[in-house]
Amino acid sequence: MKQKRGNVDVESGVFFTVTGLVTMLLSIHYSFGSAARMGPGFFPIILSAMLTVLGLAILVSGLRDRKPVAPVPFDVKSVVIICTAVVLFGLLLMRAGLLITVPLTVFVASFAQHEMKWKQTLVIALALTAFTWLVFIAGLDLRIPLLPRFV
């Protein structure tokens, strides 16, 4: 049996472009606002526009490179682990706090790699926790607890 071959960049570019355009169309009815006073449509429209541009760039790059690439088999285990990490983050953030939830999520998600490196995972967990605190708590002043509240 012959294995199906295709250009992964073309397929990815089409996927990102279509996803960006559909998301933009779905969020276009929200008020956009301005950079100083963002409306509910500001973030999804900007993000979907960036995704569309990225998709087009990948698509053009894939069309330039005519060499077909054999597809990689779908890794169900990694998808389940990543989805579990995302759900875990959503369930724990307001209960366990940012300083516990972010590193725990990174460690759970790191099991999706085929060769997990503990030092690298620790550095990523610490950097992502610091970045998350800086952006969402220090920068945007969101009311996310740092540690669990024992009341």
pLDDT digits (tens, 9 = 90+) for 21-41: 999 999 988 888 877 788 888
List residues bridging with 33 in a β-sheet. 38
**How far is the C-alpha of 120 from the C-alpha of 126, rounded, in Å?**
10
- C-alpha distances out from residue 126 to 3, 83, 137, 147, Å: 42, 21, 16, 15
Predicted local confidence at residue 93, as pLDDT: 92
**pLDDT value at position 1?**
43
> Residue 5 belongs to what H/E stretch?
none
Dist. CA 65–CA 63, nearest whole Å = 5
H helix count then E strand count, the chain: 5, 0
The CA distance from 40 to 43, in Å, is 7
Cα 23 to Cα 10: distance, rounded to the nearest angstrom? 20
Are residues 108 and 45 in contact, defined by beta-carbon separation less than 8 angstroms? no
135 pLDDT above the threshold of 60? yes
**Could you tell me if 49 and 19 are in contact, meaning their C-beta atoms sit under 8 angstroms apart?**
no
pLDDT digits (tens, 9 = 90+) for 37-83: 888 888 889 999 999 999 999 999 888 876 666 666 778 999 999 99
pLDDT higher than threshold 60 for residue 5: no
- Helix intervals (H) in 28-151: 42-64, 76-96, 98-110, 118-132
Choose between 146 and 151: higher pLDDT: 146
Closest by CA to 49, choosing from 22, 29, 30, is 22
> Does the structure show a pLDDT above 90 at 4?
no
Question: Mean of the per-residue pLDDT values for the chain?
Answer: 87
pTM of the model: 0.61
